[in-house]
Amino acid sequence: MAKKDLQSYELMIIFTPVLSEDEYKGIQKKYADSIKENGGKVSHQNAWGLRSLSYPIQKKTTGLYWVAEYQAPADLNGKMEINMNRDENVLRHMITALDKYAVEYNNRKRSKTTEAQPA
């Protein structure tokens, strides 16, 4: 597939807080691998960890957050939506299409935060 057919996206998933550390890492890998297996490329992943929710979801007040930026063909998102809706470990998910300015902004923001931290 040609590079021009790939669109940039950001995926945020809130997983159930009852996952162990190994399960949390495993499920992140599962979704990243799913993107790669379907012709996409993950450019950045960020596990935010346990955060409070604004409102309870399925009687839970916290969730394990994970954010991934990726490039993929448009039809991948439909497959991802089906998998996330079927996955009982996913409380909420959101896929956002990124334009070139959003991608540049995220890259600049990441490079600033890595430069600002002492080694």
Q: Where are the alpha helices (DSSP H) in the chain?
A: 21-37, 76-86, 100-116
pLDDT band at 119 (very low <50, low <70, confident <90, very high): very low
Q: Residue 116 above 60 pLDDT?
A: no
- Over range 86-111, report the average pLDDT: 92
Can you list the domains of the chain with their CATH numbers? Answer: 3-114 (3.30.70.60)
CA distances to 42, 49, 68 from 98, rounded to whole Å, are 14, 23, 12
In this predicted model, which residue has the larger pLDDT, 94 or 112?
94
